[in-house]
Amino acid sequence: MIVAKAPTTAWRIIEGEAVILSMETKVLRGLNPVGSRVWELIDGRRDVEEIIEEIVQEFDVAAAEAGRDVMGFIQELLDRGLVTSVG
């Protein structure tokens, strides 16, 4: 699955952490460092497996744990309309 940031989402990286604003709901969210890196990697070209591989390399975490956490986080982003599935 490939996901992209929703066009109705504004975001910035501030001191290494992402801050996301949903233009539809006007809700502002701050992400921790791992969530921020996942957010940065969501570009509409990488599939979720590639994002998981990058997280495993950068954060020295087990592949199974990273997979579970990244998939859960991406599902939450999809449920909130902050990202969309593009393939």
Is pLDDT larger for residue 49 or for residue 87? 49
What is the total count of domains within the chain?
1
Distances in Å between the Cα of 70 and the Cα atoms of 11, 17, 26, 39, 48 are 19, 16, 24, 10, 8
**pLDDT digit string (tens) for 67-76?**
999 999 999 9
Residue 72 lies in a domain: yes
Range of the domain at 38: 3-79
Q: What pLDDT is stored for residue 66 in this prediction?
A: 98
Question: Which tens digit of pLDDT belongs to each residue from 5-59?
Answer: 999 999 999 998 999 999 999 999 999 999 999 999 999 999 999 999 999 999 9
Whether 84 is covered by a domain: the verdict is no
Buried b (16+ CB within 10 A) or exposed e, 55-75: bbeeeebeeeebbebbeebbe
pLDDT of residue 87: 74
pTM assigned to the model: 0.94
Q: Could you tell me the CATH number of the domain that includes residue 21?
A: 3.90.930
Is residue 87 included in any domain, yes or no? no
Residue 86 lies in a domain: no
